[in-house]
Every structure is written in C-alpha cells, then in structure tokens.
Amino acid sequence: MIHVLHVVGARPNFMKVAPVLDDLRCYPQVRQTLVHTGQHYDVNMSDVFFQQLGLPAPDFNLEVGSGSHAQQTAQILARFEPVVLEQKPDVVLVYGDVNSTVAAALVCAKLLIPVGHVEAGLRSGDRTMPEEINRLVTDQIADYLFTPSLDGNANLAREGVGAEKIHFVGNVMIDTLIRLLPAAEQSPILDTMRLAPSGYGLVTLHRPSNVDDPEELSALMGALDELAIRLPLVFPVHPRTRHRIGAARIGKSNDQLHLIDPVSYLDFIALQRGARFVITDSGGVQEETTWLGVPCLTLRANTERPVTVTQGTNQLLGRDTGLLKAAVVQILEGRGKQGTIPPLWDGHAGERIAAILVA
C-alpha cells in the first residue's frame, strides 16, 4: 500500500489536485488523503470548486484562514504537523506556489517524509513576489519535482537540483480544463449576463503589486473604466481586491464595467472561452488563455510562465495603462496575438505523475 497525502489551500490548488487524485485512483495499491489548509474559505473561493471538480470532501480541514504571511504559514506548520505524524503518509504532494504549498513542504522535510511538488521549477526571477519565495523554498526541499514546461527543468538544474528528481510531466491545470470544457460549454453565464461571444473582455486582478497600493489600483481601475467604453468588461473581483477597492473608496463611472463576485470554475472557463481578450495578473489564467487561444494581456513586468509568452497568446504589459489601451485597440482591430499549445499540455499530466509515484 502507498499512502499519498495531498495538501491544498487556495483557489488555484483545487484544479491542480483534481486530476492527480483521479489518476491515482486507477492504482488499487494507492490510498489517498486530502488535507485542506483553509487558506481560502469563502464558498466561492473554495466549496464551489470541490463540487464542480468532483473533489472528495477533505479528510482534514486545518481552518487556518487569513493572516499575515508569517501568521498564516506558522498556523499551517503547527496544525499540519500532527496530521502528518498521525497519518504517516509515504509521500505528500503539494501544488503551485501559495503559502499552503511551502508550509506543508517544510513540515514534511523536517519529518523526513518525501514531498512531491506539482508545478515545480517555475521562476519569475522576482523575489518581491511572495510566490517566488514559496517556489524557491519548496523546490529546494522537494524530492519529486513535477514540471509543467521545460523552462522549469532548466531553472531547477541551474539551482543544483539533481536530475533524477526532476520529471517533465506537463500541466495539470490543463488536464482539468480539457476534462471540464464540455461542462463549461453548458454554463449559462454568458446568457445570464447578456454577453455575446467575442463581445466582451474579461478581467482578474489580485497580485499585491497591483492591488495593495491605492494609487496603483486606482490607476488600473480608471483605465478599465475607460476601456469599457469600447467593449463591456466583466471583472470577477478577488476578495483581496474587493477589500482594497473598498478601503480606497474607488468608484466606477461606466456601467459596461461589470464588477461581480468571484465566479465558479465552469462559469470562469465559459467566460474565458467567449472573451475577446483577458486582462489578468493570475498565473493560472495566463496558462488557460494560452490553451484556449484567447489573447491574454498580463499586467505584470515578469512571468514565471514564460512559455505562455514565447509560445502562447500572452503579452506582458507591466502596469503601463498606455500599453494596455494600445494592446486592446490592436486586438479590436483583429491583430491579437496568436499562439500554439506548449508540449505536454495535453490532458495527461496527472497520469504521468501517478505513474511516477507508483513506479
């Protein structure tokens, strides 16, 4: 019997764990345990994904909630250690680059429990991003490094990670996208919002560098307000951003800028698929738009997902609202960026991970 324990905590973890859990079920010798740290806890940031992705209810919910980086990470360390000591897993899988990822990996490394990092090797080179610190630390202590793209292999080799630990498996987020696209095509959200395919733009913003500073956020919201004159914009607002918009008392003047609550996975995939373009600072959305072939305008100076730029539909614009407006005009004139799908973003990454773990 191999006991695999998965740790998830934040919205982008849920679509990454789903295919790995599913594909490990094919092996009768594998027993699985699912731990939710509780980093995200709103129904529309957590529960709705468990339902739509068909995830089992977590065996443990650590209910850590929100806090400063140190508080949140410390809570996970303290609450996860007894679970590991009791469950004695053979391997623990952590996903992505959130605080739950690094905290769970650290607990296991100290207890000498092997750790697998799904989405290893990605680097933005920007250590002001909390996620970059989480990626660097997790990859140094993980035993299995499952990379979504070959830049990840190169980054890990440069940092001295042994080649025998690195496995290029492809992108688990795309596994979920491929599996659930038919269900997303049934989503009523375009009709409900009276949106025509290609008749609107989609927006998500939640990076601290874009939303935590009131002046930066105000400038970005002003640019969106202006762009929405040309084309309706749908903006499902992340809770971090909602708090910041409220605190800075930022208003909007344009009815075509639709600020709505975060939407479910199927609705969000439907919105991405039908969008003329997506404006974002999300990691996962850069990948999904590349696979869907929808132009993606990323409001960041760098990306840990360079294949979305070199091969996909992604463009990095920094926080330059002038560049943003010019890029939107270009797309509306029919000159949006086209791309190709990166290698192994083929719906089978979870199967490759499962096969490596049971070998």
Burial degree of 70 (CB within 10 A; 0-12, 13-18, 19+): exposed
| Closer residue to ligand UDP (CB): 89 or 284 | 284
**How distant, in Å, are the alpha carbons of 147, 163, 204, 251, 347 from that of 231?**
37, 48, 16, 19, 33
Q: List, edge to edge, every strand of the sheet that includes 277-280.
A: 257-260, 233-236, 201-204, 277-280, 296-298, 314-316
Smallest distance from ligand UDP to CB 121, Å: 16
**Under rule CB under 6 A, which residues in 43-82 are in contact with ligand UDP?**
none
Applying CB under 6 A, the span of 25-33, 164-172, 260-268, 342-350 interacting with ligand UDP comes to 260-268
Give the residue with the Cβ less far from ligand UDP, 75 or 280. 280
* CB burial readout 324-348, b (16+ within 10 A) else e: beebbebbeeeebbebebbebbbbb
CB of 124 to ligand UDP, least distance (A): 12
Please, what is the minimum distance in Å from the beta carbon of residue 86 to ligand UD1? Answer: 25
Which CB atom, from 15 or from 331, has the smaller least distance to ligand UD1? 15
Q: Does 263 bind ligand UDP (CB under 6 A)?
A: yes
CB of 58 to ligand UD1, least distance (A): 15
Cα separation of 206 and 150, whole Å?
27
Instruction: Please select the residue that binds ligand UDP; options are 60, 95, 235, 268, rule is CB under 6 A.
Output: 268
Q: Is 12 in the site for ligand UDP (CB under 6 A)?
A: yes
Distance (Å, whole) CA 102 – CA 270: 31
* 206 counts as catalytic: yes
The minimum distance between CB 176 and ligand UD1, in angstroms, equals 15
Q: Does 129 bind ligand UDP (CB under 6 A)?
A: no
Nearer CB in complex with ligand UD1: 41/291: 41
Q: Check 6, 117, 206, 238 and give the catalytic one.
A: 206
CB of 313 to ligand UDP, least distance (A): 15
User: Who contacts 83 (Cβ-Cβ below 8 Å, separation ≥6)?
Assistant: 35, 60, 62
- Number of shown-chain residues binding ligand UDP (CB under 6 A): 15
Per rule CB under 6 A, is residue 351 in the interface with ligand UDP? no
Q: Residues 286 to 325: which contact ligand UDP by CB under 6 A?
A: 288
**How many Cβ atoms sit within 10 Å of the Cβ of residue 359?**
5
Alpha carbon of 66 to those of 73, 100, 214, 215: distances in Å? Answer: 10, 11, 21, 24
Q: How far is the CB of 327 from ligand UDP (least distance, A)?
A: 20
Q: Which does 204 bind (CB under 5 to 8 A by kind): ligand UD1, ligand UDP, none?
A: ligand UDP
Is residue 189 at the binding interface for ligand UDP, with CB under 6 A as the rule?
Answer: no
The token pair at 255 is 């009815």
Whole-number Cα distances in Å, 221 to 155, 227, 254: 35, 10, 11
Query: Which residue ranges make up the site for ligand UD1 (CB under 6 A)?
Result: 10-12, 39-42, 45, 66, 97-99, 130-131, 206, 238-240, 243
Measured from the CB atom, is 38 or 232 closer to ligand UD1? 38
Of residues 236, 312, 342, 350, which one binds ligand UDP by CB under 6 A?
Answer: 236
Q: Which residues bind ligand UDP (CB under 6 A)?
A: 11-12, 15, 204, 236, 262-263, 265, 268-269, 282-285, 288
Active-site positions?
206
